[in-house]
Amino acid sequence: MISQRLIVCLDVEGGKVVKGVQFVSLKEMGDPPALAARYEEQGADEIVLLNIAANSEDRRKMIDTVRRTADRLFIPLTVGGGIGSADEVGGMLRAGADKVSINSAAVRRPAVITDAAERFGVQCVVASIDSRREGSTWRVYVRGGREATGLDVIEWARECARLGAGEILLTSIDRDGTRQGYDLELTRAVADAVSIPVVASGGGGESAHVVDVLKFGKADAALMAGALHDGSTSVSEIKAAMLAANMHVRTAA
């Protein structure tokens, strides 16, 4: 039986972990390799490093951050943010990433997903989708949630899977940083639409939120950041709640 996963996200800017609300009001949280190693020790199943800066200097720093973080980890490491080509995917994989997430570049040129999947395998390619509710549906946004694309989230998720993505990282911009719980309706709609794993992101604030999105949102994994960084909850507390809900969980050694 496949374990349901708890993934810790580290948003990185200027070589440091930061966290905000709805992609803004950022506060520095610490050093990526140190935080990643701490969460692995606590029982996190995976780590995601997301470069949220847009400038070329931060992209160069990110390679070093990935190398230093990968050197500290045994659990899978996903890297994303500003990845624009299959060559850049390869660079992150060579730096130590296990998977690479592609967001804005895939909207601009969908073939980048196929290019990366054909060169490195579908297991390496994560389609990252940032979603905002608009009326009765959800629309895809890019550039850190600042730019509307007009794309329907459900249809875009299907297309990403068709193009060769091995996983969907689905973020609700409306819920991001609010700690009010994941968007269960959104997550369930995407999970029902694709056959690849869906990682729910945006809104996780306590263990009950993780259990809800895995059980009722049909997510394969839940991603959490700020509530773990400031100690509002812990990996062990969330894993205990998952076990109590009769989920198949990998426990810390």
Among all residues, which ones are annotated catalytic?
Answer: 11, 130
Alpha helices in 71-163 (DSSP H): 86-95, 104-108, 111-120, 153-163
Contact predicate 160/106, CB 8 Å: yes
Interhelix angle for 56-70 vs 86-95, to 10°?
A: 40
Residue 94 CA to residue 96 CA, distance in Å, equals 5
* Residue 58, number of CB atoms within 10 A of its CB: 18
Task: Phi first, then psi: give them for residue 29, nearest 5 degrees.
Answer: -115, -20
Contact predicate 245/34, CB 8 Å: no
* Residue 145, number of CB atoms within 10 A of its CB: 17
Three-class secondary structure of residue 243 per DSSP = helix
Biggest CA pair distance of the chain: 46
Strands (E) located in 58-109: 77-80, 99-102
Which residues have a Cβ under 8 Å from the Cβ of 56 and sit 6 or more positions away? Answer: none
